[in-house]
Amino acid sequence: MRNIDNDEGISYGIIAVFVFVFGAALVYIIFTPMLEAVLGQVNVYILDGDISYQTQGMISWNVAMFTAVPVFALIGILIWAYIRAIEGREGGM
């Protein structure tokens, strides 16, 4: 194993993590008001009895998946870091 004195790869990785987390937060912030507007309208339909039980379950599942966006973002960045580490090891870094 050879010693590398260049830290550019580490800086690139840290910047990529921050950009990825910032992007996921931005998506979450942008889509939250739209989701709230849709849920407000759907709740009116649910109270009127116009939406079936299956559709209510689907909407509930979609809301749960939206609240899991930060978890998906963290899993995504961990997978990216893992693949990047494997590529670096195979490349002789």
Lowest-confidence pick of 6-10, 42-46, 71-75: 6-10
Higher pLDDT, 7 or 56: 56
Q: In this model, does residue 47 exceed pLDDT 80? A: yes
CB-CB contact of 31 with 80 (8 Å):
no
Label residue 78 by pLDDT band (50, 70, 90).
Answer: confident
**Domain coordinates of the chain in residue numbers?**
13-90
What rounded mean pLDDT belongs to the chain?
83
What does the pLDDT average to over 77-90? 80
Count Cβ neighbours within 10 Å for each residue of 52-79 and write b for 16 or more, e otherwise. Answer: eeeeeeebeeeeeeeeeeeeebeeebee
